[in-house]
Structure 1
């Protein structure tokens, strides 16, 4: 990972808490000083103290949920994180009203499952999930609904024949936009590729999600052109082959630079 020039947000986070050794790109150097996820203060001398407070807060929330019987020893960790997040956000439902997770909660759970593959410590994992989700909704909540149209525009520039096929087959309106744009490809891309995408999102751009989706469509153009039913297109795109995803992300970043220059905080 240390030799990867594309940098990932986990490296950025661990360097922020004192594990040095990876050379930073200038743009991320500036972002780290601003603490893009807001987890740690800019002064390294206070990291240990703040880290202790974070751990105590985590334990307090956990114990409160156990006392209220929202969670127990058999509750999956991702559902624990969801209840913790709901409690802190003051949207925790009554115990008698808890039901199967709705679409928004499923988005959170998908991001949580992906984050667990990246971060081992549960305290760090929860804080990263919480801050990532909050930052994404705060910065990009108004932009996300417009990303499908943006994808359509760039696809018309790169491969109009594929765009017409998706339109004519009825698949365009049914593409897995939630998986791509609301879940930021959690559950679609493996961890090694996903963290490169999330790094760009944390750095300040949700438009990278459009170009990853665009490159997926371009990479599997021949297969997609041979599928005439929208459900077949959706099924394939929700289960893309995992062995080629790093190349897809690399090409997506190239497309991002092609259309957006060299954005640092581009939306």
Structure 2
């Protein structure tokens, strides 16, 4: 399919007249008609192109294993997921870990802890703070993207689980990777960050452990998560890189590390779509584009 001359001609035409997404949407619709779904092709599509919003949640659920590859089982499995959600919720209510006033993100955390067998003793339970902030940040962001609480919980749970299973060993190395690419793109800025001792204090937790939840608005964040869910944590490095490049002039004028961190933790929200687009371009530039047929 990737080598089809007619498809390549149509793609070039659509892109020229400003309708690039039309052809991509058609390609995805063809992939979604497969039974069983080809997870490798869906992953490759998500790496190469932005997911159309109408299909994003469905593709995420398939790639995260919430729904199986066999489409004819989706309704049945969806019913099981709903029942399991209700059972966990009721168990936590009976054990008095949650009640009607518990914030939904804290409910999701307790559900996740129960399923992961790390639920604290009820007598030791206190409001979740720093040690759970990454989970709660991702939960808050997912709530803005997904309306249904059942889908929201399963997406949070499977996203967090997959992220740590696949990329847990890579996360500590991402700051060094960012330093390397910054040295390629803007060595003067890198030198300034080193000289002011800001480099070691950049908000790596916000960027890499929370996957930019709480940093980017959801409209931009979901395009980054497309890439993470489909198999790349390296995209996080390039989003961080593009944030630094986009605000280079501002950062070069700040000489105290705490000033750099404060600014980067509260970047302006109106320019984030452009930042993410440029970050994805840089990611493709350095890491290449997946070549599997889609």
Q: TM-score range by the shorter chain?
A: 0.7 to 0.9
* Contact 1:151–1:213 (Cα < 8 Å) also in 2: yes
Q: Distance in 2 between matches of 1:3 and 1:59?
A: 47
Of 26-35 and 145-154, deviating more is: 26-35
Going from structure 1 to structure 2, the CA distance change for 1:111 and 1:7 (only over 3 Å counts) comes to: farther
Of 161-170 and 15-24, deviating more is: 15-24
Shift of 1:33: 9.4
Give 5+ residue unaligned stretches, structure 2. Answer: 36-63
Which residue number corresponds to residue 154 of structure 2? 127
Going from structure 1 to structure 2, the CA distance change for 1:239 and 1:5 (only over 3 Å counts) comes to: farther
* Contact 2:242–2:279 (Cα < 8 Å) also in 1: yes
* Contact 2:206–2:213 (Cα < 8 Å) also in 1: yes
Larger radius of gyration: 2
Which residue number corresponds to residue 33 of structure 1? 33
Which residue number corresponds to residue 54 of structure 2? none
Q: Distance in 1 between matches of 2:29 and 2:137?
A: 29
Going from structure 1 to structure 2, the CA distance change for 1:4 and 1:210 (only over 3 Å counts) comes to: farther
State the secondary structure of the residue aligned to 2:5. coil
Shift of 1:103: 3.5
Give 5+ residue unaligned stretches, structure 1. Answer: none
Going from structure 1 to structure 2, the CA distance change for 1:53 and 1:202 (only over 3 Å counts) comes to: same
Shift of 1:98: 1.6
Q: Distance in 2 between matches of 1:108 and 1:241?
A: 23
Which residue number corresponds to residue 19 of structure 2? 19
Going from structure 1 to structure 2, the CA distance change for 1:21 and 1:83 (only over 3 Å counts) comes to: farther
Per-residue Cα deviation, 1:99-142 (whole angstroms, up to 9, x for no partner): 34253411000000000000000000000000100100000000
Going from structure 1 to structure 2, the CA distance change for 1:14 and 1:239 (only over 3 Å counts) comes to: farther
Which residue number corresponds to residue 42 of structure 1? 69
State TM-score, norm by structure 1: 0.87
Of 19-28 and 239-248, deviating more is: 19-28
* Contact 2:106–2:128 (Cα < 8 Å) also in 1: no
Per-residue Cα deviation, 1:157-182 (whole angstroms, up to 9, x for no partner): 00001001101111000000000000
Going from structure 1 to structure 2, the CA distance change for 1:90 and 1:10 (only over 3 Å counts) comes to: farther
Going from structure 1 to structure 2, the CA distance change for 1:186 and 1:150 (only over 3 Å counts) comes to: same
Going from structure 1 to structure 2, the CA distance change for 1:31 and 1:208 (only over 3 Å counts) comes to: farther
Q: Distance in 1 between matches of 2:7 and 2:190?
A: 32
Q: Distance in 2 between matches of 1:13 and 1:74?
A: 54
Per-residue Cα deviation, 1:204-255 (whole angstroms, up to 9, x for no partner): 0000000000000000000000001111100000000000000000000010
Which structure carries more relative contact order (alpha carbon 8 Å, separation 6+)?
2
Going from structure 1 to structure 2, the CA distance change for 1:98 and 1:147 (only over 3 Å counts) comes to: same
State TM-score, norm by structure 2: 0.79
Of 56-65 and 26-35, deviating more is: 26-35
Which residue number corresponds to residue 190 of structure 1? 217
Q: Give the total of aligned pairs.
A: 266
State the secondary structure of the residue aligned to 2:21. coil
Shift of 1:50: 0.8
* Contact 1:176–1:234 (Cα < 8 Å) also in 2: yes
Q: Distance in 1 between matches of 2:14 and 2:92?
A: 29
